[in-house]
Amino acid sequence: MSMPFYVAPEQMMKDKADYARKGIARGRSLMGVTYADGILLAAENPSRTLHKVSEIYDRIAFAGVGKFNEFDQLRVGGVRHADVKGYEYSREDVDARSLANAYAQWLGQVFTREIKPMEVEILVAEVGPQSGGGADQLYHIDFSGTIYDEDHFAVLGGEADAIHDRMEAAFTEGWSLADALKAAIAALAGPERTLQPSDLEVAVLERPRERRAFHRIVDGELAALLGLGDTPPATDDAGPGAIEPPAAGEGSGEPSADVAPE
């Protein structure tokens, strides 16, 4: 009679965690950082269609690193969760904390019950009506469903510790969008690289906007903020329903925007 195969629960959890961390570490990083008039979300992502950063609801944004098809499923699920809650109750009842808790439950169930964990880390950000006093919220949820309530900025993806240290040294309370963007790009790039606008995906949650706070910064507006030109700002806000238009290759099993050619 053959002996049953047994793996200690502690070893199984450790193996799952190591597997997920290795998958996430292969991807490019992203950052969410507060500034005077909102929250900046900046990611190293050369793809123009496979977005890491998207709108979820009125003043809430989502960002993810790791396997694109996995964190995009979470994004779509978050949009549906927020829309249903806003319809059944009120739009004011939809907040980042409850959405982050829902994501933590989904990821935690997959991590504990499934053989393969999700190779993702996600960020849920909500901009408050006024700066200071904890009005802006940044919730970092890892592959195991653990939530981290971040202060001022959050870093996800490969080399997160080194990027966090560089950003911590540069962070200034109440700085402008241009200063925050330049510091975020410098932290993501590190001392040995230079990131061009074509290598970046940038969006903001703008505090002055009354309802739909999400705004994607592209092309001329991005170059102007970086001091690379004086092209007038472009407008590229998310459409109704906070769901990005389907991009070629989405849901087709393509690996990820994270593994695009360098």
- Going by C-alpha positions, the residue among 64, 29, 71 that lies closest to residue 200 is 29
| Cα–Cα dist 155/188, whole Å | 9
Look at residue 129 in the predicted model and tell me its pLDDT. Answer: 82
Contacts of 12 (CB under 8 A, 6+ apart): none
pLDDT for 163: 95
Q: Does residue 254 register a pLDDT over 50?
A: no
Number of Cβ atoms within 10 Å of the Cβ of 190: 13
26-242 is classed in which CATH architecture? 4-Layer Sandwich (3.60)
- How far lies 126's CA from each of 33, 153, 170, in Å? 11, 12, 22
pLDDT of residue 249: 41
Of 153-157, 185-189, 251-255, minimum mean pLDDT range: 251-255
Whole-number mean pLDDT of the chain? 86
- What integer pLDDT is reported at residue 192 of this predicted model? 87
Pick the closest to residue 99 from 129, 67, 68, 122 (CA basis): 122
Check pLDDT > 60 for residue 232: no
In terms of DSSP H, where are the helices of the chain? 9-25, 68-88, 96-113, 160-170, 177-189, 219-225
Instruction: Convert the pLDDT of each residue in 199-215 to its tens digit.
Output: 999 999 999 988 899 99
How far is the C-alpha of 16 from the C-alpha of 116, rounded, in Å? Answer: 7
Question: What was the pLDDT predicted at 6?
Answer: 79
Which helix (DSSP H) or strand (DSSP E) does residue 203 occupy? strand 200-206
Q: DSSP label at 52?
A: S
Cα(17)–Cα(255) distance, rounded to whole angstroms?
Answer: 20
**When comparing pLDDT for 192 and 76, which is higher?**
76
Terminal Cα distance for the chain, rounded: 53
Q: Taking 50 as the threshold, does the pLDDT of residue 246 lie above it?
A: no
User: What's the pTM?
Assistant: 0.83
37-70 per-position pLDDT tens digit: 999 999 999 998 999 999 999 999 999 999 999 9
Domain ranges of the chain: 26-242
Q: What is the pLDDT of residue 1?
A: 52
Q: What share of the chain is helix, strand, coil (3-state, %, to 5)?
A: 40, 20, 40
